[in-house]
Amino acid sequence: MTARERRSVDVVVVGAGLAGLTAARRLQERGRSVLVLEARDRVGGRTLNHDLGDGQVVESGGQFVGPTQDRVLALATELGVDTFRAHDDGDTVYVHGKAVRRFSGDIPPAWTTLPDLGLLMARLDRAVRRIDLDAPWRSPDAHRLDAMTTASWARSLSLGGGAVEVLEILLGSAYGTTAAETSALFTLWYVAGAGDETHRGTLDRMIGVDGGAQESRFVGGSHRLSALLAADLGDAVVLDAPVRRIEQDASGARVSTDHLDVDAQHVVVAVPPHLVAGIDLEPALPAPQAELFRRMTFGTLMKCEACTTSRSGVRTGCPDRGCSVATRSRCARCSTTPRRPAPR
């Protein structure tokens, strides 16, 4: 039977995604001893590079960055990671059933829904301006908005069904679910958050390329940020260490994994709520918060990459972006072409 290891630090950070690794870095900068515990065999959370060989990588997870995402851009500068303009050449293709149409710009139009779509976006952005970002439940009409789905809210505007279908694509690729499964209040708050301290979010800022969240990518892939953070932290990052229990009292805290117990003065939990619900906490969270964590659902996205050694797609006019509206599925297409070999 393997003996349990015992360690002691000032702060334990649970989770080695960007949030956890950045928190650990800031704590070390302030002279605190830190230990980061990560359940998986890698760092990076929802960012992951796919190695194509010869120094070329594409992102298997999150990849884009844009204006108003000030903190991650500042972190990239701090780590010496440059950005480059996302590939956005040529037209976009829009597929609706058997119909195919090419267009320019960010918004995929159907033949008969473009005026309705423009009205939908205008009304959505007008509603977004009324949302309290810090406390959305205090926003005007919050209870009614939270009691209806995004789809029913959009249909209440008496717009064409095609506009709602396009909204499904725009929002579905953002948080991985349908407009029928999210509340209108959540969607408005989500869009409002696509900004910074001085710029309120808009739908165009959230989905756009020029001046939007898809404007740039990181040289060497988004996962490079986490890899560099982890390299600087060194032995302070422990992989394959799922946290099973956190105990806290007046003297401090103890964090337990399958083979390790860590005594600390403080614990930073930097994992999604549904994973927090799987940790045995003593004392337990307040009942409403624990119930929320257990019942909170998350979107699901699948990302597939088609790789080629030639630029035949460019020669034949294959567009860099596209979207499809079908009876049972929605999908969006974008270019993940590397800019140049990743730095060694």
Distance CA(265)–CA(71), nearest Å, equals 27
DSSP 8-state symbol, 74 = H
Distance CA(57)–CA(60), nearest Å, equals 9
Half-sphere exposure (Cβ direction) of 76: Cα atoms closer than 13 Å: 21
Angle at 139 between CA 138 and CA 142, to 5 degrees: 90
Sign of the CA dihedral running 233, 236, 238, 243: negative
Residue corresponding to tokens 């394959």:
240
Angle at 153 between CA 176 and CA 68, to 5 degrees: 55
Distance CA(144)–CA(138), nearest Å, equals 12
Say how many residues make up the chain. Answer: 344
Distance CA(27)–CA(1), nearest Å, equals 35
Half-sphere exposure (Cβ direction) of 1: Cα atoms closer than 13 Å: 3
Q: Was 38 annotated as part of a binding site? A: yes
Nearest to 40 by CA among 15, 63, 12, 13: 15
Binding residues: 38-39, 243
Specify binding-site residues for FAD: 38-39, 243
